[in-house]
């Protein structure tokens, strides 16, 4: 219960955020966060409603070839609700829809920021990341980062209210005037009004006066109905609620982002009974959890968290036939910025990117094997040059949960233990292109147990390419890999760029001076590899980036006294997994440089790894810059 004066001040904020913010906080509200946008007081990592919407508009202006902003409706207080659409507008490929909503519950600070950071990540890495270029060429990603602007404004200015609902005062909540509004995640019109939704207007999960009664809910439903294929919907979704959707033809995904709980949730919510596409949802949730360290939760006794009705997932899956997933981020509503920046953000950007790869056939692709590593070294245009592309493909690796749970069955997923039967490489384009390149068969290069054949659920594959066959494709060539398992399921596509440097003609060097064979100086200064041609090496450590390094010798200059040969190294990160970057903490000898590195801290006159020794997941997550590796059960530094 809040007092009368406090209630009136709160309503003033909802009615006029700018004016009331100045009255409540003075000039502090004008301070901008690190990214140059208005942020929530005390939380410089989270943009305000105005800051988030301004970011969406700025992205659309700065990247007109990728981004479009569209108004899809209004809130109860007549604030605009926007969607930011991201796709490569020049691509002629058929686009599959991915719709991401965040901020449906007002007090959950992290979800809207993750959504807008994901948008920034996509546009900033377009033209740099082959994976992202492939996603944007074949997917239309729609993001509503602020789904409940009225409620969010209350939550960002009055944290002590723990505001969850929208700002609809037109209900009968008279006893607690500070707790009016409707829970938007109980107001969707599929199975509305059932268990898990309150009929009390003052209740935190109040369902609203009728199904879809709220303007915010109506805006999301109308937009979803416009972008997801109508032909994949059921004629009578309530009567046929338990029937599965066609997994071969179902297209598109819906992702709703909430906090907190560190869960990946899938339908159903209105009952604890397996959904028709339960097996596919198992695969999707396990693979996302293998990336962000969460635990899966779904109906059918699969760590079911409780009954809800009228929610986003059941509506999109049950009514529209869309594969639907919910992210529960972090461990608190007002998550601190260290946890968000160092753990939640990097892990869930990767998870959202993976979800984006599934959009064309989510149920099918999630059951297939994943390309967990793709190494594509750079090349030169020399006629005799070749490059070897390597891939690690696994049907099982990403189905293994990062953390054991007594609520989940221990057995391996039936779709995650199949033998790999083929690995295809597409050079010069993406397999989803209207006219894709002819697939090339990669050869076995060993697997689990050292088999030199595709006889395991996890294999290594390789293919040597002749650069002279590629020079007409331009200096940057897309290379994509896809694995297929014994059940016939293809996995999601993974891509890297092969960069071909122009051929250069080196000036002839004079011969080195004659040196006595017994010269100690010559023996000490000439490395064993001197005179060898350019070589490519790949260094891989568990749960760390795969680093492809090109080593080229600089000729020894002619001089009276022999000089040391210098090795120049060019480093390209081709796979970015959890586990740190190229440098370690111990490499840093300056306190300032040490403290700027994730997972490092200056102690006792040296730079130390603060993640090492944290042998429990919860302790690891509490340390900024650290990430828990569920497979090895160790705490590692997050990537820089």
Q: Of 81, 74, 100, 103, give the one whose Cα is nearest residue 163.
A: 103
Q: 587-615, pLDDT tens digit by residue?
A: 777 777 777 777 788 776 778 887 776 66
CATH code for the domain in which residue 423 is found: 2.60.40.650
Q: Of 577, 12, 621, give the one whose Cα is nearest residue 290.
A: 577
Q: Which of 331, 350, 365 is the last residue of a domain?
A: 365
Active site residue 124: no
| Domain co-membership, 22 together with 143 | yes
Active-site pick, 216, 262, 319, 328: 328
Query: What is the Cα–Cα distance from 526 to 227, expressed in whole angstroms?
Result: 65
Residue 593 is predicted with a pLDDT of 74
The answer to whether position 527 is within a domain reads no
Number of domains composing the chain = 3
The answer to whether position 535 is within a domain reads no
Q: Which of 477, 501, 525 is the last residue of a domain?
A: 501
| Domain co-membership, 239 together with 142 | yes
Residue 577 is predicted with a pLDDT of 36
Q: What pTM was computed for the model?
A: 0.75
| Domain co-membership, 46 together with 182 | yes
pLDDT band at residue 35 using 50, 70 and 90 as cut-offs: low
How far are the Cα atoms of 132, 328, 408 from residue 353, in angstroms, in the given order? 8, 16, 26
| Domain co-membership, 406 together with 347 | no
> How many whole angstroms from its chain centre is CA 416?
21
Residue 533 pLDDT > 80 = no
Query: What is the Cα–Cα distance from 45 to 472, expressed in whole angstroms?
Result: 46
Q: 351-396, pLDDT tens digit by residue?
A: 999 999 999 999 999 999 999 999 999 877 665 688 999 999 999 9
| Domain co-membership, 304 together with 393 | no
Residue 579 is predicted with a pLDDT of 33
Q: Which of 460, 481, 501 is the last residue of a domain?
A: 501
Q: 246-305, pLDDT tens digit by residue?
A: 999 999 999 999 999 999 999 999 999 999 999 999 999 999 999 999 999 999 888 999
Give me the domain span that covers residue 430: 369-501
**Directed axis angle between helix 130-138 and helix 110-124, to 10°?**
100
Tokens of 199: 């009929």
Buried b / exposed e over 29-53, threshold 16 CB at 10 Å, is beeebeeebbbbbebebbbbbbbbb
What is the DSSP code string of 558-622?
A: P-SS--PPPEEEEEEEEE--SS--SS-GGG--SHHHHHHSTTEEEETTEEEESSTT--SHHHHHT
| Domain co-membership, 419 together with 279 | no
β pairing state of 80-86 and 43-47:
unpaired
């Amino acid at each position: 219960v809040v007092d009368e004066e406090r209630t009136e001040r709160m309503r003033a904020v909802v009615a006029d955020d700018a004016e009331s913010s100045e009255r409540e906080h003075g000039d502090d509200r004008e301070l901008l966060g690190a990214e140059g946008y208005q942020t929530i007081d005390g939380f410089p990592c989270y943009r305000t409603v105005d800051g988030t919407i301004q970011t969406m508009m700025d992205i659309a202006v700065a990247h007109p070839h990728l981004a479009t902003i569209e108004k899809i409706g209004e809130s109860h207080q007549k604030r605009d609700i926007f969607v930011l659409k991201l796709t490569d507008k020049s691509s002629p490929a058929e686009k599959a829809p991915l719709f991401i909503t965040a901020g449906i519950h007002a007090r959950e600070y992290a979800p809207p920021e993750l959504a807008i950071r994901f948008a920034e990540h996509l546009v900033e890495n377009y033209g740099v990341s082959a994976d992202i270029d492939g996603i944007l060429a074949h997917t239309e990603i729609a993001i509503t980062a602020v789904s409940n602007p009225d409620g969010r404004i209350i939550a960002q200015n009055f944290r002590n209210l723990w505001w969850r609902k929208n700002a609809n005062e037109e209900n009968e909540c008279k006893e607690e005037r500070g707790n009016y509004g409707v829970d938007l995640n109980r107001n969707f019109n599929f199975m509305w009004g059932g268990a898990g939704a309150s009929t009390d207007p003052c209740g935190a999960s109040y369902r609203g006066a009728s199904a879809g009664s709220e303007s915010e809910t109506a805006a999301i439903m109308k937009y979803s109905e416009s972008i997801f294929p109508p032909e994949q919907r059921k004629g009578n979704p309530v009567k046929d609620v338990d029937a599965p959707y066609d997994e071969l033809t179902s297209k598109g995904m819906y992702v709703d982002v909430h906090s907190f709980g560190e869960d990946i949730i899938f339908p159903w919510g209105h009952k604890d009974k397996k959904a028709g596409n339960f097996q596919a949802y198992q695969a999707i949730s396990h693979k996302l959890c293998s990336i962000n360290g969460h635990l899966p939760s779904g109906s059918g006794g699969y760590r079911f968290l409780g009954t809800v009705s009228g929610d986003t997932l059941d509506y999109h899956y049950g009514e529209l036939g869309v594969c639907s997933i919910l992210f529960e981020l972090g461990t608190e509503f007002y998550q601190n910025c260290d946890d968000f920046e160092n753990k939640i953000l990097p892990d869930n950007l990767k998870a959202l990117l993976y979800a984006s790869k599934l959009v064309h056939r989510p149920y099918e692709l999630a059951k297939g094997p994943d390309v967990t590593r793709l190494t594509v070294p750079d090349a030169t245009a020399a006629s005799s040059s070749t490059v070897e592309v390597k891939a690690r493909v696994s049907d099982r690796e990403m189905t293994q949960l990062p953390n054991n749970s007594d609520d989940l069955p221990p057995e391996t997923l039936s779709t995650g233990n199949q033998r790999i039967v083929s690995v295809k490489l597409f050079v010069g384009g993406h397999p989803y292109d209207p006219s894709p390149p002819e697939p090339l068969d990669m050869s076995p290069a060993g697997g689990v147990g050292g088999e030199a054949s595709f006889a395991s659920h996890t294999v290594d594959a390789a293919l040597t390419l002749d650069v002279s066959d590629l020079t007409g494709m331009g200096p940057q060539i897309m290379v994509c890999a896809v694995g297929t398992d014994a059940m016939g399921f293809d996995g999601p596509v993974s891509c890297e760029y092969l960069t071909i440097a122009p051929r250069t003609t080196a000036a002839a060097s004079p011969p080195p001076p004659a040196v006595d064979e017994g010269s100690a100086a010559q023996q000490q200064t000439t490395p064993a590899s001197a005179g060898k041609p350019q070589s490519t090496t790949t260094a891989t450590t568990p749960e760390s980036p795969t680093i492809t390094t090109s080593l080229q010798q600089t000729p020894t200059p002619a001089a009276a006294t022999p000089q040391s040969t210098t090795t120049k190294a060019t480093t390209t990160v081709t796979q970015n997994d959890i586990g740190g970057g190229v440098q370690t903490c111990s490499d840093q000898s300056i306190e300032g440089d040490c403290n700027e590195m994730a997972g490092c801290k200056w102690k006792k006159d040296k730079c130390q790894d603060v993640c090492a020794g944290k042998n429990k997941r919860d302790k690891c997550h509490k340390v900024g810059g650290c990430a828990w590796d569920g497979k090895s059960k160790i705490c590692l530094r997050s990537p820089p």
